[in-house]
Amino acid sequence: MEIKRRKKGYDYGECEICNAYMEEKYIKQDFWIRGELIVVEDVPAGVCPQCGERVVKADVGRWITRLLENTEQIAKAPKISVPMIKFFDEEKTKV
C-alpha cells in the first residue's frame, strides 16, 4: 500500500471547542503593543469553519513576536484608522 504524502499545507487537526476540522486560512491578527494597535496581515492560521476559533503554529507565533519587536519596521508601516467607541454611550447612561 502506498502512503500518500502530498503536502497540502499544515494539518491543524480538529477544533478544541466543536471538533470541526480546522481550515488553513490567512488571517489578520491584531495586537496591542505598548498602547498601540498593530495589525499583522497574512498570518497563516487554522480557522474553525463553525465557531471561528483560530490556532497558529508555534513557529508562526515566534515569527510574529519577532515582527512586533521590529519597531523600525512598525514605524514605517502604513497606518489604518479604526473606529473607536465608548462602552458607555449617551443612551445607556440615561437611567
Residues that bind Zn ion (CB under 5 A): 15, 17-18, 20, 48, 50-51, 53
Cell 521590529 sits on residue: 70
Helix (H) or strand (E) holding 27: strand 23-33
Pick 43 or 48: Cβ nearer Zn ion: 48
Pick 17 or 39: Cβ nearer Zn ion: 17
Pick 18 or 33: Cβ nearer Zn ion: 18
Q: What is each CA distance from 9 to 15, 49, 58, in whole angstroms?
A: 17, 17, 15
Grid cell digits, residue 82: 479604526
Question: CB 55 → Zn ion: shortest distance, Å?
Answer: 10
